[in-house]
Each structure stands twice: as structure tokens, then as C-alpha cells.
Chain A
Amino acid sequence: MARQILGRIPQLILTLLAVSFLTFMLLSLIPGDPVLSILGTDNITEEMIQQKREELGLNDPLPVRYASWLGDAVRGDFGRSQRTQQPVMDAIKERLPVTVEIGLLALTGALLITIPLGSYTAFRANGIADRVTTTVSFALRSVPGFVLALLMIYIFAVWLRLLPATGWTRLTVDPVRNLRSALMPALVLGLAEVTAYTRVLRSDMIATLQQDFIIMAKAKGLPNWRILFKHALRPSMFSLMTVVGLNIAALVGGALIVETIFALPGIGRLLVDSIYQRDLVMVQGVVLFIASSYVIVNFLVDTLYTVLDPRIRHGRA
């Protein structure tokens, strides 16, 4: 197994290199001058523009800028923001806990709903519960995240005054307030995922429940919950795991909207603001970080298959 995992590492490095190159190129091709975003248009002189371009290294050829940026990035130095002068790595470290906490809460919540719901609707396929679940989950899926977010703000913050409408309290400052400020954003992100997860688990579980070993378990008189969660769940999880792995990117994408609406100081909002302000150094650093995390998470999910599925582990898949 270790050899299989090690064998994938060169592929991982190549993917990361490609990601870094594409990120760099893409941002270099976007129109708009970061210097003008910094200086504005009032009372500027050509000397000021040229001096700023030189200071930011924007006059260097593209390959030189890429090589220099990648060399520093490999050592963990993503440079300093052109606008705020804050080291990019510090900005990421400062904001990562917010996005990770909301992402994990959303993911955990989504899985806690999905596993019993997906299993039960598969077990009672086409029953009333299955139909209601399908209708509700598709309705939720069709509501855009920002609408759901605003609706929740009006219900839980403005009307019921149970949760704060916007803002963030750090876990280390006040855990209860932290949870209250994280709850609505996590719910908005998580609910959107429940639909996809439930459908995937349900369809895999239906297939699993028709397998011989399940019929054997039923014949032996095992209780339904034991059949579902002890025998059927594990072989029905592979598609769900793949979707969860791929949806890490969707969670980050959702964070862009959710963090802006709920005014959370996370990675998503950092990225949105940096794009608007043409803070290329910050955007490059954050995109590389997100893309690398995505590639690594999916690498770990692939690795997890080998742990869960003996057929892959022994090269018989």
C-alpha cells in the first residue's frame, strides 16, 4: 500500500506545478493594472506609476516573475500583499481557521444528515419519506446560496434574534459566540451539499442492498439497522467519498459568497476582495493555496480508497 501511495507522489507534484503555472499565467493575462488600483486616478504622475511598477516587479519578464514567485512559494514565502503590505502567508494563516471551521461544520452537518437519510430512503425507496426527501432536497438545491443566506438572516437574526446576522467571534475568545456566528454560514453551505450527498448515497445503497450478502444477512434475521449501518454502508460509501472530496472545492466556492454576506474574515472573502482590488500577489498566493489544498485532499481521498477497499489495496480492482 505504501508503495502505491509513494508511486502517486510524482504525479501529485506535477499536478501542483501545473496548477501554479496556470494560476500565474491566468492572473497575468487578466486586464487591469494593479498599480492604478493602488494609486487611483487623481493627482497621479507617470513617475509615480513607473516607480510603483518597478517596486512591485511588474516590469520584469513573465518567466522571471514566475520563477522568482515559485521559488519563494516553495519556501512558504508567498510575498507581501501589494495593497496592505501584509505577508500573504500571514493573511492565509489568519483567515484559514474561519473557512476551515465553517467548512468542517458544514461537511460534518451534511454527513450527519446524509448518512441516516440516504440509508433510510434507500431502504424504503419510493416510499413517502423518500419522495418527501427528494422534493425538499431539490427545492433546497435550487435556491441560490445568497438567497438562503439572506432569508436565514431575516428569520434567525432580525426576527427571532437568536443568531448574529453578521460577524465573527474567534473560538479562542468566546467558544459559544464563535459557534453562534458559525452556525448560519455552515448551515447555508451544508444544506446545499446534503441534496447531492443524499442522492449519491441512496443510489449506491440501493445497489448494495440487492447484493447477495445483504440477502444472506436478512435471511439470518439481522435487524435492519445492523444490515444498513454495519454491512451495507461501507461498500456504499465510495461514490459519496469521491463527491465529498470533489466538493471541497464547492465548499471554498460557496465560502466566497457566504463569507461576503455574513461578513466573515475567511479565505473566501480575502480572495474576493483581492480580486476586486487587483492585488495579484495576494490572489496568486491564495489561489495556489486553495488549489494545492484541493489536490492534496483528493490525493488523500484516493489513498483512503485503498484503506477501505481491499480490492484496490491488493491491486485487483
Chain B
Amino acid sequence: MNHSPKSRLLALLAATAVVLAACGGGGDGGDTTGQAGEDEGQPKPGGKVTIALEAESPGFQPGKDSVAEPGTMVLYSVYDPFVLRDAGGTIKPFLAESFESTPDLKEWTFKLRPNVKFHDGTDLNTTVVSENYKILKAGTTAGALATVSEFVVVDPLTFKYVLSVPNAAFPDLLTGVVGMPFSMKNYTEKGADVSANPVGTGPFSFVRWQRDSELLVRKNPSYWIQGLPYLDEVAFKPIPDEDARLATLTSGEVDMMHTLRQTLVKKAKQAASSSDLRTYDFQGNSSGSSLFNTSRPPLDDRRVRQGLAHALSQDDLLEVLGGTGISQPTTQLFTTDSPWYSRDAAAKWPKQDVNKARSLIKSYVDDPARSDKKPVGTPVSFTYNCQPDPSLVELALLYQQYWKAVGVDVTLRQVEQASSVALVVGTPPDYLGDYDAVCWRLGSQNDPDVTLFNAFREPQGNASNVSNFTTPRLQQLLIEGRSTADIERRKQIYGEVSTILAEEVPFTLTGSTAALVAATPKVKGIMNWTFPDRTTKGPSIVSSVVAFREVWLDR
């Protein structure tokens, strides 16, 4: 990559902007933001792309390793899922040729494409998928497959999942690791080292991995989609320090980087506004939140939770998080462009109203039957846990001030991430959590059933219901939501779920997490991936995860 003195100066200015980012200022640099559907010209084959990731992954074996967004990019390079979500949010066959369910949504039959091979030359057939299923059912994915009562091999290319309960959202599970077939020959041969030696049917085959340094994948010459992938190689480099990752991109040593940090999203956009870098945004359903333990006084009382929510200004909270101008304030676990977004829930979401907040808190404080059994008139008090991250500490202080203004005493407690998770989940057999309130993250791009079902079913003994909140109506809706395939009915159901959550406030929300990919202008095809028919579009970059299958270099 050649750089003129001017571009070097611009890169330095961009870097200086990074150093001085705390001073703020600067524009959004939105003019360089990439869009899906842009005409980027005819793809050219060949070349190598290096992407800087925010973290290293433990491994890449379905059923053994849990990965976040950086690892998902590697997974989608090495493996293919049976199904994927298209740009409109509908699940469509990908590695599977087709799929269908019985009307009662309890039997899901999938048909594989013929003549697909793993990178080690072995065939993809239902014998392999059946062996895969046994490993997944006993592994870290067991919870996701809990409702699958039987796996049936129909013929060499057809298989069936039989569920114990109807589940309209079942195919959603197969967009991730549960639906990514892996070579059984490799799994058996590699044994305990299989996590570091993945073999799938994906567009790229694994070459080598030096942990915390570089993972290299190379073009799969016998890939089942003709003409893909375009690139010869992709290298994944974990660079955990956010500023160093951006500096590595601006210095030209890598071609792309991604981030899920609001502060770096802003810095990358500033850098792009004064250089030739291009940025690609994604606003997801994942949102920052304050989670309340509704099994504990005083947060078991709806008046307290509503009062706390009415005391907050989402705009101020987003500003502290560095998300102003980047993240949208959220009112539910779905963004405004999600098919599951509910206007009713948005209208019910508690807006900032300090007087109303004071009145709600006072009604609890003056209630002789208040749940914390304290004397009438005693102020509401609880402990708020948050991680010792600078922006989160600032956020927790802001919460404390808002709640103090409406008469609530909040003790802040810094708790490191792993400890925080342990406290929120709690201990067996109840799993009711050992916390009052905590800064948390909620929401995902999955089907609402995946996001909501376990999170709000009966809390006793349920480690996934971290707020311990549920109501009989909520449970009924969640069961109904997975028992119907009628999309309009499902929208109504999840709309009502969001409305209940807005009224009951088991959590407050800040804003959706903005994710970003930044790349040099020669990297093309980041936003425009398609299904095997090469016409159906995919949903560009979800949570900054790039599908490298159709990325190409304009060399």
C-alpha cells in the first residue's frame, strides 16, 4: 500500500485525534460510511486480507468452544451453517438445500446439498451430521438443544430434528455453531487439540494459528459455491488495545479492523473523515442496561423499578458511554428497524420524569407493607455492581446521582466481569443471584424466542433468567411465541412481551451497541454477501462480523 506525504500527514492527524479523543470535538465522518448495495465494480480474485480483531478466541470447535464476534468471523470462514438469515430477517437454507417443518412445529426436516466435501476430503452426509449432533448434545451447546428429543437420519442427505415442544424459532439455532457441520475424521484424529485445528466445509480452510498473534485461513479450492471465495488468504490478528488496533490500521499494516466499543467507533469515524479509510456501521439489538434483581427487596416492587427508570435521561447516559451521535436510545430489546420492534412498547417505556419518579419512590417509602420490611419513611437503598472500566465507573456514578435526586441511596460496588457474572447467575439450586442491581448487556440478533424464552421463564432453578422476572402472562406469551409460525401473530406476541417488560421494568436500557468495521478503500464486498443463489442478499455486517466469502481486493 503506497502512501503519499499528504496521506501520511492525514494518518498522523487521525492518530493524534485518537490520543486527544478525550478532548472531544470533530465530526462524525459519516461521508465515508459504507452502505449495503453500493456498486463496487466487478470482483477480482486473489490477494490476502488481514483483519485486526478485538480479542483472541479459545478455539473453534462447535460444541466445545464459545466464541464472541471476533471468533465468529473465523467460524464463518471455516464452517458453513445449514441456514442463515437474509437481509429481510427470514431464515433461508444455506449449506442445507431446503428445510421444512410439520404443521405442529415439532419436526424439522433438512435436506443437504449433494457432493459437498469437508476440507479434509471427507463427504458431508447425514452420518457425519448425526455424529456431530451427539457431540453437540453433550457439549456446551446442550442447553440450546435441550428441546430436541430425537435426531433421525432419513437418508444419506436428509435428517430430522424431533422436538419435545413446538418451536417456530428452531432454525434460528442452526445459523450458529449448532448448525455448522464439522469433519468427524478430523474430530477423532485431533482429539483434545481439535479446537485449534478446525475442519469444516467453509470457503476457507484452516492453515495455522499462533495464539494471540495470527490465525491464517486459505481459499478452499473445491468450495461448493462456484467462483467463491475471491480472496486467496485471510489473516486474523487479535489486537486487544483499541487505540493500538486503530493505529495498526492507519499505519497500513492491516487492511481492516472491527470494534464493538463506542469510543473506538467514534475515533475510527474521526480517523476516516480525514483519511481514505472507509467505515461500515451496524446498530444491533444488543443494548447497555441496568439489570434489577426482582427477587430481592426493594427491587421486587414495581413502583421502585419504575421510579428508578423515570429518574434517568438516556441521552446523558449515552454521552457518558461515548455513544452520543452513534448509538440510538432504546426502549426495548429490538431496534426500530427490527421486525420485532413494537411501537406500543416504545410508548410505554418510562421517559425521564423526575416528579413521577419521586412520587413512585415515595409511595413505596410510605407504604407500611413495603417489601424490605423497613420502617415507613426509611429511604430506598440498594447496591449497584459495575465493572471497573473507566466509562462504566462514570456511568455508575451518573446512575447514583440520578437516583439520589429522587431519594434513593445507592452504594456503588466495583466488581470485575467474571465475578459479576457469577453474582448475577447465583448458585444452585435456586440460581436467584446474589446482587441488587448491575450494569449488564441485553439483546441479540437472534429470533426473539432465543433471546427471551429462557431469560423470562420461571426463575427458580433457571440460571438464564438473570433478572428473576416473570409473570404468568409473560410465560404464556413466550410459549405461544414459539408455538406458531405465523409471523404476524408472532410480532403481536413479542410486541406484548416488550410492552410488559416496559411496564414492569426488570431492566433499564441506555442505547443499542454500535459496531463498526473500518477498512482501506481497496477492500470491497464487505457489505454485500449473498446466498448460494447469488441474488438473495444477506444482512451485511451483523455485530461487526464480516463474512469473507465475498470480500475481494481491488488490487
Chain A positions within 8 Å of B, measured between CB atoms, are 30-34, 36-50, 80-81, 83-86, 91, 94-95, 149-151, 153-154, 157-159, 161, 164-168, 170, 260-265, 269-270, 273, 276-278
Smallest Cβ-Cβ distance to A150: which chain B residue: B243
B238 close to chain A: CB less than 8 A: yes
7 A-B pairs within 8 Å (CB atoms) are namely: A41-B424, A43-B143, A84-B211, A86-B193, A158-B251, A161-B251, A166-B245
- A35 → chain B, closest Cβ, in Å? 9
Q: Are the C-beta atoms of A32 and B212 separated by less than 8 Å?
A: no
A218, B422: Cα distance in complex, Å? 70
**Which residue of B244, B421, B450, B461 is within 8 Å of A41 (Cβ)?**
B421
B253 close to chain A: CB less than 8 A: yes
B16 close to chain A: CB less than 8 A: yes
Q: Are the C-beta atoms of A263 and B58 separated by less than 8 Å?
A: no
B227 close to chain A: CB less than 8 A: no
Q: Are the C-beta atoms of A166 and B244 separated by less than 8 Å?
A: yes
- B416 → chain A, closest Cβ, in Å? 7
Chain B, 205-218, contact with A by CB distance < 8 Å: what is the 0/1 string? 00000111110000
Q: Are the C-beta atoms of A165 and B247 separated by less than 8 Å?
A: yes
Q: How large is the interface on B (under 10, 10 to 19, 20 to 34, 35 or more residues)?
A: 35 or more
Chain A residues with CB under 8 Å of B19's CB are: 150-151, 154
A38, B421: Cα distance in complex, Å? 11
- A224 → chain B, closest Cβ, in Å? 44
Chain B residues with CB under 8 Å of A37's CB are: 418, 421
A278, B319: Cα distance in complex, Å? 31
Q: Are the C-beta atoms of A84 and B421 separated by less than 8 Å?
A: no
A164, B245: Cα distance in complex, Å? 12
A44, B239: Cα distance in complex, Å? 30
Chain A residues with CB under 8 Å of B56's CB are: 273
Chain A residues with CB under 8 Å of B16's CB are: 154
Q: Are the C-beta atoms of A263 and B251 separated by less than 8 Å?
A: no
Q: Are the C-beta atoms of B212 and A45 separated by less than 8 Å?
A: no
Q: Are the C-beta atoms of A273 and B212 separated by less than 8 Å?
A: yes
Smallest Cβ-Cβ distance to B66: which chain A residue: A40
Q: Are the C-beta atoms of A276 and B418 separated by less than 8 Å?
A: yes
A277, B68: Cα distance in complex, Å? 13
The listed residue with most B CB atoms (<10 A of its CB), out of A38, A45, A47, A158, is A158
CB within 8 Å for A277 and B418 given contacts A168-B213, A260-B241: yes
Q: Are the C-beta atoms of A49 and B15 separated by less than 8 Å?
A: no
Chain B residues with CB under 8 Å of A83's CB are: 58-59, 65
**Which residue of B14, B245, B250, B454 is within 8 Å of A42 (Cβ)?**
B454
Chain B positions within 8 Å of A, measured between CB atoms, are 3, 8, 11-12, 14-16, 18-19, 52, 56, 58-59, 64-66, 140, 142-144, 146, 192-193, 195-196, 210-214, 237-241, 243-245, 247-248, 250-253, 416-419, 421-425, 428-429, 431, 450, 454-455, 461, 463-464, 466
A269, B240: Cα distance in complex, Å? 10
Smallest Cβ-Cβ distance to B434: which chain A residue: A31
- A279 → chain B, closest Cβ, in Å? 8
Chain B residues with CB under 8 Å of A151's CB are: 19
Query: Can you add 15 more A-B contacts, CB < 8 Å, to A37-B418, A159-B15, A265-B210?
Result: A32-B421, A32-B422, A44-B143, A48-B142, A83-B58, A153-B251, A158-B15, A159-B12, A164-B253, A166-B241, A261-B244, A265-B212, A269-B212, A273-B212, A276-B417
Q: Are the C-beta atoms of B12 and A154 separated by less than 8 Å?
A: yes
A260, B15: Cα distance in complex, Å? 19
Q: Are the C-beta atoms of B463 and A263 separated by less than 8 Å?
A: no
Q: Are the C-beta atoms of A154 and B15 separated by less than 8 Å?
A: yes
Chain B residues with CB under 8 Å of A161's CB are: 3, 8, 251-252
Chain B residues with CB under 8 Å of A94's CB are: 210-211
Smallest Cβ-Cβ distance to B461: which chain A residue: A46
- B132 → chain A, closest Cβ, in Å? 18
Q: Are the C-beta atoms of A36 and B425 separated by less than 8 Å?
A: yes
Chain A residues with CB under 8 Å of B146's CB are: 43, 45
- A258 → chain B, closest Cβ, in Å? 10
- A148 → chain B, closest Cβ, in Å? 13
Chain A residues with CB under 8 Å of B418's CB are: 32-34, 36-37, 276-278
A263, B421: Cα distance in complex, Å? 27
Q: Are the C-beta atoms of A45 and B15 separated by less than 8 Å?
A: no
CB within 8 Å for A36 and B422 given contacts A158-B11, A158-B250, A165-B251: yes
Chain A residues with CB under 8 Å of B248's CB are: 157, 164-167, 263
Q: Are the C-beta atoms of B192 and A84 separated by less than 8 Å?
A: no
The listed residue with most B CB atoms (<10 A of its CB), out of A30, A33, A50, A151, is A33
Q: Are the C-beta atoms of B212 and A157 separated by less than 8 Å?
A: no
- A112 → chain B, closest Cβ, in Å? 27
Chain A residues with CB under 8 Å of B421's CB are: 32-33, 36-37, 41
**Which residue of B12, B59, B416 is within 8 Å of A84 (Cβ)?**
B59
A165, B419: Cα distance in complex, Å? 33
